[in-house]
Structure 1
Amino acid sequence: MTRLLGRRALLAAAALLAAGSALTACGGSDDAGSSSSDGSTDLSTVTLRIGDQKGTSAKALLQAAGLDDTTYKIEWKSFTSGPPMLEALEAGSIDVAMVGNTPPIFAAAANGGFKVVAAANYTGEGDAIVVPKGSSITSVAQLKGKKVAVAPGSSANYNLLGQLAKAGLSLSDVDVAELQPADALAAFANGSVDAWAIWEPYTSQAEVQDGATVLVNGANGVMNGLNFQVASTDAIDDSTTKAALSDYLTRVQKAQIWSGKAAHRTAWSKVWSQGTGLSVAVSEHATAKRPVTAVPIDSSVIDSEQTMADAFTKAKAIPTQVDLTDYFTDEFNDVASGSAVTGK
């Protein structure tokens, strides 16, 4: 289970791979197999299709950190949460997406064609269960019989499962309302649900805008705090798309670390606010709870995720036991942690 697949590639961002392979239907090259005069891949021929969402804002991250000047084209596609992004990845609509720690588990249970290629730890503080202002609920145990909103298959889904288990309850002990963030926020604001399991920046939006109280957050040991970059196997198998993907992983990890530093939080909050439509007060509140650490894909990451997958299996939230080993690769570790960025 802790075996890592794939060679540890020494991929240096710009001249990684020899050109010459034709792009598959999933790929993003405008001119398959194009190469520059020195024989390296010509990234200007590539269009990388990237899934994005408000809670991760990869596009805004690159812009804020000054790392958006890629030699390849990027086609950004917006989604409400991680599970729909991985559905799009499986359908061949996108090449890569940043998601929380739970969507890959559900995608693996559905036999998805993907690999987790990079990881970062945001801590679990922003993953929370919130209750409305003035609620009489003061503990997770008091959620028994209550209606709780959560996006199915999201990181919040596992946080809810784990927090309930820690309080001696199960998912069957609460009335689960499966809602995407926008619908859940409306239900939370109008009193249609008693609690909401969510992630940042929605946690801060509920706190700052609606006066919500955090009942519990994932920093109590329930959540591993991981976010992942997930790429389709087709994108990885295509040499030109893989070259652009390698460069993108370097950029986005540098941008993540940049955003988590105290000296940059004000600047990042302003850009994040503009991109999401949230107030600066909300984005600043969220940013303060999201320090970022780069994490290599290794056995500890896989084991942590496998523990989560087994918990979902036990709760009958996924239909069968799933072995996550084959869904992770360490071949991009050197790239994601490197400093070289094409075009910089």
Structure 2
Amino acid sequence: MKRALLAAVLLLAAAACGAPSTDAGGASEGTITLRVGDQKAGSQALLKAAGLLDGAPYKITFAQFTSGPPLLEAINAGAVDIGGVGNTPPIFAAAADSKIKIVAAYKQNVTGAAVVVPANSTLTSPADLRGKKIAVAKGSSSHHHLLSVLKKEGLKFSDIQPQYLQPADALAAFSGGTVDAWTIWEPFTSQAILQHKAKVLVDGTGYVNGLNFTVAAPEAVETKADAVRDYLTRLAKAREWALTHKPEWAKVWAAETGLPQEVADAAVDNAVSSPIVIDDAVVTSEQEMADAFAAEGLIPGGLKFADFVDQRFNDIVGAAR
């Protein structure tokens, strides 16, 4: 089963990387290629919106993934070099002893993370989740959000019926009425609310840390260090741009993803993020998350998150402002 999953991940990445790629301007034959794993409304769209996609002395290709866990599978397998994920995928990848390094961090509004229920749901509080079928992407940021919500109510994962689904399948299950709730992030939160009349049972306030990360393959960090540094600098500048150009970013976001403009407009406030350094507070927050997952038996115990962090690019945060 695991081999089949890995094969599927590699096939997806290879197919995406084999598609027409984005050349970061000026790259010549035989130069370095930085293979970027991306997600819906991710780095490629943001860099394009900010006008920072072109002009690098290396080539960039983008491979699209449904969420962070399969993206990190691809990094571990050597299919891509670097990519952006939420706060939880690196924990699951590290627990599996994957070959990853966290090289950049960002902070965003936590209200975009939400547990949503159908418009006609009788659930009115997190305590009502006991025994219910809840859609969640395993190993994603929403996985930790759900764990935190349950823990605060004195519940365990064994007290619910988790339905491990990627966003597209989860949306189908949610709209089709086969799950009682869905734990998700932007832009899917706004999509569920605006297109499917979902109600927010609880958002991320008081439950999640709002962190996102750029994760790289250790080999890429060592052999493509200049390209990685340049890419991270461009991405940090693009994120700073988005903070002050939300309407422009939302317009490009909608065009790039096919989302209705109203969804992109609603999601953008929660989706923009500020570059921050990977300091002790960041590492401690992630370690606490890892410990919480281990306590539930969802990952092995003993994980030391700091072992998977590379702080050599922290100076980019100041340079991007």
Partner of 1:311: 292
Give 2:303's match in structure 1, choosing from 297, 312, 322: 322
- Which structure has the higher relative contact order (CA within 8 Å, separation 6+)? 1
Kindly state the Cα deviation for residue 274 of structure 1 after the two structures are TM-superposed. 1.2
Give 2:239's match in structure 1, choosing from 256, 263, 270: 256
Partner of 2:8: none
2:276–2:317 Cα contact (<8 Å) kept: no
148-157 or 121-130: bigger deviation: 121-130
Q: Which structure shows the higher helix fraction?
A: 2
Separation in 1, partners of 2:32, 2:262: 38
Separation in 1, partners of 2:29, 2:204: 40
1:260–1:290 Cα contact (<8 Å) kept: no
The code of the aligned residue for 1:86 comes to L
Matched, 1:110 2:96: yes
Give 1:211's match in structure 2, choosing from 190, 194, 197: 197
Aligned residues with identical type, % of pairs: 50
2:236–2:320 Cα contact (<8 Å) kept: no
Separation in 1, partners of 2:199, 2:154: 22
Partner of 1:300: 281
Matched, 1:277 2:258: yes
Partner of 1:127: 113
Matched, 1:265 2:249: no
The code of the aligned residue for 2:53 comes to D
The code of the aligned residue for 1:337 comes to G
Give the match's secondary structure for 1:129.
strand
TM-score, reference length from structure 1: 0.83
Separation in 2, partners of 1:97, 1:141: 36
Structure 1 residues not aligned, in runs of 5+: 1-27, 29-41
1:82–1:98 Cα contact (<8 Å) kept: yes
Partner of 1:188: 174
Give the match's secondary structure for 1:228.
strand
Give the match's secondary structure for 2:270.
coil
TM-align CA RMSD: 1.8
Output aligned runs, 1:107-256, within 5 Å.
107-219=93-205, 221-238=206-223, 241-256=224-239
Structure 2 residues not aligned, in runs of 5+: 1-16, 18-27
Separation in 1, partners of 2:255, 2:271: 18
Give the match's secondary structure for 1:316.
coil
329-338 or 276-285: bigger deviation: 329-338
Separation in 2, partners of 1:118, 1:235: 14
The code of the aligned residue for 1:294 comes to P
Give the match's secondary structure for 1:206.
helix
Give 2:315's match in structure 1, choosing from 331, 334, 339: 334
What whole-Å deviation, never above 9, does each CA across 1:286-332 have from its counterpart, x for those lacking one?
Answer: 00223422210111100000000000000101123211111112110
Separation in 2, partners of 1:187, 1:126: 20
The code of the aligned residue for 2:281 comes to S
Give the match's secondary structure for 2:111.
coil
Give the match's secondary structure for 2:303.
coil
Kindly state the Cα deviation for residue 43 of structure 1 after the two structures are TM-superposed. 11
